[in-house]
Structure 1
Amino acid sequence: MSFSGFVVQLLNGLAGASSLFFVAAGLSLIFGVTRIVNFAHGSFFMVGIYLAYTLVDKLGSSLGFWPALLIAALAVGVLGALIEVLLLRRIYKAPELFQLLATFALVLVIKDAVLWLWGPDELLGPRAPGLKGSVEILGRQFPSYDLFLIVIGPVVLGLVWLLLTRTRFGTLVRAATQDREMVSALGVNQAWLFTAVFALGALLAGLGGALQLPREPATLEMDLNTIGAAFVVVVVGGMGSLPGAYMAALLIAEIKAVCIWLGVVQIFGIDVSFSKLTLMVDFLVMAIVLVWRPWGLFGRPQAPSRYVGMQEEPLRRPSNAYMVAAAVLALLLAVVPFLTVNSPYTTVLMIDLMIAALFATSLHFIMGPAGMHSFGHAAYFGLGAYGAALLVRALHLPMELALVVAPLIAALGAFVYGWFAVRLSGVYLAMLTLAFAQITWAVTYQWDSFTGGSNGLTGVWPSEWLSDKRAYYWLTLVLVGAGVWWLRRVLFSPFGYALRAGRDSVLRADAIGIDVKRMQWAAFVIAGTVAGLAGALFAFSKGSISPETLSVGRSVDGLVMVLLGGIQTLAGPVVGAVTFTWLHDTVARNTDYWRAMLGAIILILVLLFPQGIAGSIKQLADRWRAPKEDEVAKTEAKAKLEEVKA
């Protein structure tokens, strides 16, 4: 740990901060004006570096290098404008989470488009002409191109700041960030303003990707890796604040650089590897900042939108017909193993569908009735799965007891994380749950002696009497049914009504004596317990477990399931989980480009069913039933009138 090494690592952090700032600045602009949490923003970064690679190859690496980077950024900006006009403009009045679902589908489509155009191999571009060498700093060599990146970051920040503060366009953007409905009322063409802002944000992301061409190879994993880091920077800096995004990028990049410089340090006789902290240090910083300052370092509370989406309808108790249909469905599910004797894979798929339904229902419990959007629900699913695996392997407990204790381990995690999460709301609450999930994933991924590290744990099989998949199928059916039934029973208890009261109006709920935060905290624990049960069932069904169980992808899958089915109906998470899991399995087994096909199907479903599949079916049923109910009411009123006359 020399002083010269420390200085060089700080400079490396500055170079990395510039690239990260470009992506975060574009994401911050888009969210500030359109209120869209653009999950596809990392895809723009990825497309930027791939386009730059192709253009440099076509134009030549000497004279055409710098023009190629600019053209690539402009092309990504045009792509962003087309996406906004053709897709996002059609769903601006849909609930915000459905917009998130649409942008997630775009991630899948763009990833497979890049795979088709450029192939699966990593592509490393040439060095920048004129900046191929290095300079000596305190006896160490430092790349000249990285010095260029250190300078270009503040330059772009200054240019964007001038655009936003010295032009009419910038005035409109800043006004829309504060109150976009008022900007529209003043006669500004809001649609084209949104398009311009989205294109500018995409251009910045594309520029950030293009500038990375000489530093790292272009890979298909860049999109999700980049969007996670960009979300952290935007939230830490404050939503909509460009200086905040730059300062947050600097803060996180420099902390990572210091961790790398420290390496392994012995503290009180214990070796502590700071370099391993780089996997979670950004999420750790985000968690600390949000707990200390909920709106970010430079942010402030967003002005509430006058459009709040579709009003939540009161949940109705299941009718007799509904209960009969549920009983018939349970009977049909119970006889499925007998009908699929010659197709063992069908039994395995049905187990996966039921576990997915339980996981999605637990997430819906806090998203719908409680109104808390979680981006890190996989943490409790993974805690349940790892808890079951470790109880069986390390403590040699029987599988039946592990199924009871593992959900309690997940509940403990939800108890701790929920205490912090319920003190926030909206996007900031969602980002804090994401931070906690990523911290849990990083610990699991690196704790080789306890969790198996990246290899995970194997040999996690059910008891001998459940060795037959059909027997395990029936156990899963019983436990999943019990879990779903219990969550619905809670929703129609006084606790459930109080929970929905706090969601609909915090002030009114508080005025009648409801402790809203405590109710939401309890909801987190309940949802975490059920998610932990789903994770334990998953571990025993697969016979092994890996850190992927706690990854962002698992949380996103849960969000997609809930939103695809419909957040305003109790059947929504079950319908969405079955639809998504079945589509994922079917499409992946029948085409190499399954992501694009799955993303296209999700986009079509979002456009056709803006309230989710189950939600849209419920709307159609209500519209069909309404005229009949009105006719009955008129008939009854007419009969009463005749009685009065008589």
Structure 2
Amino acid sequence: MDLSSLFVQFLNGLAEASSLFLVAAGLSLIFGVTRIVNFAHGSLYMVGIYLAYTVVQSIGHSPLGFWVALIAAALLVGALGALIEIILLRRIYRAPELFQLLATFALVLVINDATLWIWGPEDLLGPVAPGLNGSIEIFGRYLPKYDLVLIFIGPVVLGLLWLLLKRTRWGTLVRAATQDREMLGALGVNQAWLFTGVFALGSFLAALGGAVQIPRLPANLTLDLSVIGDAFVIVVVGGMGSIPGAYVAALIIAELKALCIALGTVDIFGMSFAFPKLTLVVEFIFMAFVLVFRPWGLFGKVQAATRNTAALEAPLRPSKMPFKIFIAVVVVALAAIPLMADWAPYLPVLMLDILVTALFALSLHFMMGPGGMHSFGHAAYFGLGAYGAALLLKTAAFSMGWSIALAPLIAGVGAVIFGWFCVRLSGIYLAMLTLAFGQIVWSIVYQWDEFTGGSNGMIGIWPDHWLEGKAYYYFALAVVLVSAFVLRRILFSSFGYAMRASRDSTLRADALGINVKRVQWVGFVIAGIFAGLAGVLFVFSKGSASPEIISVIKSVDGLVMVLLGGVQTLLGPAVGAAVFKILQDYFMGITEYWHALFGGVILLLVLAFPQGIAGYFKELFEAPGGFIARRFGKRGRNELA
């Protein structure tokens, strides 16, 4: 590596930072004012690239037309963002944050398939900017002229945003809304239109960040999820709601990636290190480092300890006879599934998938609901369990029994290490740190070809002959039922009460002598162990393990299951897992655009059942005048656990 190469990579990093900053600035604005963790922000970035490609093809043949086309595409996406806010998001502002996340995740599915329908599956590479084709020589290296323009776009937009927020009345209202929305409303400000304006501006910035990339990056259907991770990292590292922080974080992360490329493969103490491989995960490593030592981000402000009012729930009560009868009927029905294989051969396979995902969802709910700890990286422990069992069986030559017994403990060790850092944070910062650790695990598994099989994964992990077919189904059913019973008993133990007390009021729990962080750490580890057990059941049911089971999408799937069923009910995760798998399996078989149909159903469920499906029916049965109240009187309102 020479200095000229390093300098050119430094300039490349500056160009990439501008695009990342535009996306992150829009996300930071939206979160700062509306408090919505907008998972669909990456979709707006993707649509911005596609629209820019289309508009540039029409009017962008001259230098002026090219830049007008980019601005026009971003304005169109800004209008789309305003429409989304008015039609959907206004209805869920008072819903819990995670349900808002679920709604925006559904939007990702809908927008992705809409993009597929309009532009097709092929990658689309836009033309070179007129007048900026070719490169310039710098110290014997060549840098595209367009990259020099991109370097200045970020600072220019940063300056314009500073003027907008600091020197205009609208900007003053936006800054006030980030501090105290209720007081702003009490002063007579129309919050609805302010929120719409902020969402439109954030959408415009996301689309502009995508539009300026068309000469450098082909428009494709994977951009939505690939960019949202970087945007979240930049916003969290810079400090939630801080525009200057977003710019500094974008600079640091872009330059770290550029440095990894510039370093190439280096020999250190006789060992070869391929630094370009770190580009997949370097931003998450940096985020984890920042959050461990500065939990509020580089430019964020320390938040005072507050009571977690969003987690208030009715007290858990022991199950009464109607609920026990219902569970018994469900268990009998599940046990009868293999007997139906002759006329419905696929049914046992589907139910086995539901059982595995139900255990995964139950483990996530254990830390999210009673524990109050949100996680965007829970699939890491699912994957550690699956790969742990595969490696013990194939590489270490352990028996199937020992592999099943030890693999969840491997996931537990991962949870011990990661949880020690995570439980020192709360809210979105805790969730993002779990995402960082999850991505680190995924990167290691994805790139360690000699040990994990890399992107190809591992195959041939089947159960022993005596546990094949129906026997494995009944084994998995028994494991899931016992696991659900154990998790439930933990919640009714003194530890379970301490965990819920720590969730509801950290200050009061601490005053009562509860070691809050230790309780949360133990809860984190328990959730990790049972997620690893779900991974073990998965790998023996499918016969293989691949990096996809550790990806952020798998973690988001777990969130969707928990929220669909209801985070405030113990039965909710299992109901959500069943609904999720059945809908997914059904829609995949009837249309090419099943993502959009699936996302649309999730949106309807969010609007119709904001407390989750199981939570809705629990309220329906327990409310005055409901079925249980009419059948059993006042005593019956508590009969459903």
Q: Provide the TM-score with structure 2 as the length reference.
A: 0.97
Contact 1:93 / 1:309 at 8 angstroms: preserved in 2?
no
Query: What displacement does 1:626 show?
Result: 6.6
Q: 2 CA distance for matches of 1:545 and 1:284?
A: 24
| Structure 1 residue aligned with 2:157 | 156
- One-letter amino acid of the counterpart of residue 597, structure 1: L
Match of 2:89 in 1: 88
Matching residue's letter, 2:465: E
Partner Cα separation in structure 2 for residue 513 and residue 626 of structure 1: 40
Note if contact 2:45-2:208 (Cα within 8 Å) is conserved in structure 1.
yes
In structure 2, C-alpha distance between the alignment counterparts of 1:411 and 1:214, rounded to whole Å: 46
- Alignment of 1:523 onto 2:523: yes
**Structure 2 residue aligned with 1:22:** 22
State the shift of 1:472 in Å: 1.0
The alpha-carbon deviation at position 27 of structure 1 amounts to: 0.2
2:272 is matched with 271
Deviation (angstroms), 1:624 = 4.2
Aligned to 2:143, the other structure's residue is in SS state: strand
Deviation at 1:503, TM superposition (A): 0.5
Q: Distance in 2 between matches of 1:632 and 1:7?
A: 77
SS in 2 for 1:514: coil
Tell me the distance in 1 between the aligned counterparts of 2:525 and 2:170: 47
CA distance in 2, matches of 1:451, 1:628: 52
Partner of residue 640, structure 1: none
Whether the 8 Å contact between 1:366 and 1:524 is mirrored in structure 2 is yes
- Give yes or no for contact 2:419–2:521 (8 Å, CA) kept in 1: yes
Residues 61 and 126 in structure 1, CA contact (< 8 A), matched pair in contact too: no
The answer (yes or no) to whether the contact 1:179–1:303 under 8 Å persists in 2 is no
SS at match of 1:484: helix
Alignment of 1:484-633 (within 5 A): 484-625=484-625
Identity in percent? 65
Write the deviation string for residues 367-409 of structure 1: whole angstroms up to 9, x where unpaired. Answer: 0001000000000000000000001000111112111111000
Name 2:290's counterpart in structure 1: 289
1:3 aligns with 2:3: yes
Tell me what 1:228 maps to: 229
| Structure-2 separation of matches of 1:632 and 1:352 | 37
Instruction: Please tell me the residue identity of whatever aligns with 1:179.
Output: D
Secondary structure, counterpart of 2:272 in structure 1: strand
Q: Deviations over 1:227-265 (max 9, x none)?
A: 000000000000000000000000011111111111111
Aligned residue in 1 for 2:195? 194
Q: The residue matched to 1:141 in structure 2 has which SS?
A: strand
Give 1:448's aligned residue: 449
Structure 1 unmatched ranges of 5 or more: 636-646
Is 1:369–2:370 an aligned residue pair? yes
User: What secondary structure sits across from 1:406 in the alignment?
Assistant: helix
SS for the counterpart of 1:445 is helix
C-alpha distance in 1 between matches for 2:94 and 2:302: 22
CA distance in structure 1 between the partners assigned to 2:107 and 2:405 by the alignment: 40
Distance 2:633 2:444 in 1: 62
**1:644 equivalent in structure 2:** none
Indicate if the aligned counterparts of 1:77 and 1:201 stay in contact, CA closer than 8 A.
yes
Structure 2 alignment gaps of length 5 or more: 636-641
- Name the aligned partner's letter for residue 505 of structure 2: S
Runs of 4+ in 1 over 6 A off after TM superposition: 303-307, 630-635
Mapped to 2, the partners of 1:205 and 1:421 lie a distance apart of: 29
Match of residue 401 from structure 2: 400
Cα deviation code 1:397-440 (max 9, x no counterpart): 11121111110000000010000000000000000000000000
- 1:133–1:335 distance in 2 versus 1, CA, 3 Å: same
Distance, in Å, in 2 between the alignment partners of 1:310 and 1:255 is: 38
Taking the aligned partners of 2:272 and 2:148, their CA distance within structure 1 comes to 34
Q: Aligned ranges for residues 95-114 of structure 1 at < 5 Å? A: 95-114=96-115
Q: Aligned runs of 1:413-492 on 2, under 5 Å?
A: 413-467=414-468, 469-492=469-492
Distance 1:139 1:580, change over 3 A: same
Q: d(CA) in 2 for partners of 1:106 and 1:156?
A: 27
The aligned residue for residue 251 of structure 2 is 250
**Whole-angstrom distance in 2 between the partners of 1:269 and 1:260:** 21
1:434 partner letter: L
Kindly indicate whether the alpha-carbon contact (under 8 Å) linking 2:27 and 2:231 is maintained by their aligned counterparts in 1: yes
Read off the aligned partner of 1:588 and give its amino acid letter.
M
Q: CA deviation at 1:315?
A: 1.2
**Structure 2 contact 620–626 (Cα < 8 Å) conserved:** no
1:113 deviation in Å? 0.2
Q: Tell me if the contact between 1:178 and 1:303 (Cα under 8 Å) persists in the aligned partners.
A: no
Partner SS state of residue 267, structure 2: strand
Partner Cα separation in structure 2 for residue 305 and residue 504 of structure 1: 10
Structure 1 residues 585-621: Cα deviation after superposition (integer angstroms, max 9, x where no partner): 1101111000000000000000000111111111111
For 1:72 and 1:60, how far apart are their aligned partners in 2?
11
Distance of aligned partners of 1:243 and 1:199 in 2 relative to their CA distance in 1, 3 Å threshold: same
Q: Aligned pair 1:39/2:43, yes or no?
A: no
Maintained 8 Å contact 2:311/2:504? no
Q: 1:634 to 1:545 in 2, by over 3 A?
A: closer
CA RMSD in angstroms, aligned pairs only: 1.7
Residue-pair matches, total: 634
Q: Which residue of 1 aligns with 2:180?
A: 179
In 2, Cα distance between the equivalents of 1:302 and 1:517?
Answer: 18
Going from structure 1 to structure 2, the CA distance change for 1:174 and 1:634 (only over 3 Å counts) comes to closer
Structure 1 distance, partners of 2:244, 2:15, is: 17
CA–CA distance in structure 1, aligned partners of residues 110 and 608 of structure 2 = 18
Letter matched to residue 475 of structure 1: F
Q: For residues 342 and 541 of structure 1, what CA distance do their matches in structure 2 show?
A: 21
Cα distance, 1:625 vs structure 2 = 4.7
Deviation at 1:321, TM superposition (A): 1.9
Alpha-carbon distance in structure 2 between the residues aligned to 1:628 and 1:434: 41
In structure 2, the residue matched to 1:210 is: 211
In 2: Cα distance, 1:402 partner to 1:245 partner: 45
Distance of 1:307 and 1:181 partners within structure 2: 18
Give 2:152's aligned amino acid. V
Provide the C-alpha distance between the structure 2 equivalents of 1:528 and 1:267, rounded to a whole number of angstroms.
35
